């Protein structure tokens, strides 16, 4: 029985264990790895991906998917920086950036609702949106890098020091609360588990689903704005392939792509794990190309664990059913 429990713990925390090993090994060999400064640095690095991943987590739990976030990161940055350069009030500039994400979220959500889309349709629709938005982000500067004329102020502070970390962890805390403690979060789990049951329980499935895309869009915007603030400039292709890093954070954290369950905290852990991994590999002197291999394997491991866990659960389910009959 004890052996079974140990195995259970390994099974459900496999990735954490791998990462702990990596941390211990790196910590032993490199004295500047386990320092407050370095760890804060890791958190700062993952905060943009993390913010976007929080929105993606809602989407995925709600039985949807948003591939357009990468382009939204780019577009929101471009809009905000252009406005600031044009002398717009910085709060307004930020708001315009966020509105872009909201608008794209609404379009995503409405399109998918019109075709009664499920996860696979959401995949294609938001992929189309990603391509369109990526292109829109290129117009204003003809695809060139835009350097920001940023003065001291709120916008500049968003990407500096511990602010990105505060935004990231603050958001994650609020969203975790919404997910687990409010009717909205409960409905999200129902819609993600079984859209038909949700509908036949009198839940306004369309409005709720649109809201997940809006949240995903607005957080992608926010991530893009924080990113711009950090580098005080905007690159219209800054968000290229960002959606993949974001999905990696969600998946490595352990939220299942099948929807209906998951947690924002897990996504935070997923983002941090990926960040720590890159950082540790950097410190150990492993090149970026090799790092990609490790990252890919980490994702595969996460999915593998997920499948093993699901199988175990299925077996328990069928076993119990048999007993009942």
The residue ranges that bind other proteins (CB under 8 A) are 181-183, 186-187, 189-190, 193-194, 196-204, 206, 260, 317, 319-325
Identity of the residue, 197 or 297, whose beta carbon is nearer to other proteins in the bound complex: 197
What are the Cα distances from residue 57, in Å, to 78, 165, 177, 196?
Answer: 25, 18, 13, 21
Q: Give residue for tokens 């150990």.
A: 284
Rounded to 5°, angle at Cα 22 from 16 and 26: 145
* Minimum CB–partner distance for residue 315 and other proteins (Å): 13
Identity of the residue, 78 or 210, whose beta carbon is nearer to other proteins in the bound complex: 210
Q: For residue 234, list its beta bridge partners.
A: 146
Identity of the residue, 8 or 320, whose beta carbon is nearer to other proteins in the bound complex: 320
Identity of the residue, 290 or 313, whose beta carbon is nearer to other proteins in the bound complex: 313
Q: Give residue for tokens 């950097």.
A: 282
Based on C-alpha coordinates, what's the Rg of the chain?
21
Locate 150 and state its tokens.
């940023």
Among candidate residues 290, 231, 308, the one with its CA nearest the CA of residue 74: 231
* Minimum CB–partner distance for residue 264 and other proteins (Å): 17
Locate 296 and state its tokens.
């890919």
Identity of the residue, 201 or 292, whose beta carbon is nearer to other proteins in the bound complex: 201
* Minimum CB–partner distance for residue 236 and other proteins (Å): 39
Rounded to the nearest 10 degrees, how much is the dihedral formed by the CA atoms of 262, 268, 270, 275?
170
* Minimum CB–partner distance for residue 206 and other proteins (Å): 8
* Minimum CB–partner distance for residue 259 and other proteins (Å): 11
* Minimum CB–partner distance for residue 320 and other proteins (Å): 5
Identity of the residue, 2 or 325, whose beta carbon is nearer to other proteins in the bound complex: 325
Q: How far apart are CA 45 and CA 204, in angstroms?
A: 38
Note whether 44 and 240 are within 8 A (CB). Answer: no
Q: How far apart are CA 157 and CA 229, in angstroms?
A: 7
* Minimum CB–partner distance for residue 319 and other proteins (Å): 8
Identity of the residue, 156 or 199, whose beta carbon is nearer to other proteins in the bound complex: 199
Locate 255 and state its tokens.
């939220």
* Minimum CB–partner distance for residue 186 and other proteins (Å): 6
Identity of the residue, 42 or 205, whose beta carbon is nearer to other proteins in the bound complex: 205
Chain centre to alpha carbon of residue 93: 24
Q: How far apart are CA 80 and CA 90, in angstroms?
A: 8
Query: What DSSP designation does 254 have?
Result: T
């Amino acid at each position: 029985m004890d052996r079974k429990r140990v195995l259970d713990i390994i099974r459900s925390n496999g990735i954490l264990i791998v990462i702990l090993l990596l941390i211990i090994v790196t910590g032993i060999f490199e004295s500047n790895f386990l320092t407050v400064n370095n760890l804060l640095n890791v958190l700062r690095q993952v905060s943009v991906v993390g913010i976007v991943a929080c929105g993606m987590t809602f989407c995925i739990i709600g039985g949807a998917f948003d591939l357009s976030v990468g382009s939204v990161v780019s577009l929101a940055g471009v809009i905000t920086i252009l406005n600031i350069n044009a002398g717009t009030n910085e709060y307004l500039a930020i708001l315009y950036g966020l509105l872009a994400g909201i608008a794209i979220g609404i379009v995503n959500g409405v399109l998918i609702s019109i075709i009664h889309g499920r996860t696979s349709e959401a995949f294609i629709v938001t992929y189309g949106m990603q391509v369109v938005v990526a292109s829109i982000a290129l117009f204003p500067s003809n695809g060139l890098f835009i350097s920001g004329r940023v003065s001291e102020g709120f916008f500049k502070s968003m990407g500096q020091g511990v602010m990105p970390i505060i935004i990231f962890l603050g958001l994650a805390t609020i969203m975790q609360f919404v997910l687990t403690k409010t009717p909205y979060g409960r409905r999200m789990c129902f819609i993600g588990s079984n859209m038909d049951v949700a509908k036949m329980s009198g839940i306004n499935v369309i409005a709720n689903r649109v809201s997940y895309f809006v949240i995903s869009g607005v957080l992608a915007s926010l991530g893009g704005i924080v990113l711009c603030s950090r580098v005080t400039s905007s690159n219209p292709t800054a968000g290229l392939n960002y959606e993949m890093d974001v999905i990696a954070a969600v998946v490595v954290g352990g939220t299942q792509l099948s929807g209906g369950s998951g947690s924002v905290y897990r996504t935070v852990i997923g983002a941090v794990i990926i960040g720590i991994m890159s950082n540790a590999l950097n410190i150990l002197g492993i090149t970026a190309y090799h790092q990609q291999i490790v990252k890919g394997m980490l994702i595969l491991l996460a999915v593998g664990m997920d499948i093993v866990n699901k199988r175990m659960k299925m077996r328990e389910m069928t076993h119990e059913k048999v007993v009942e009959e």
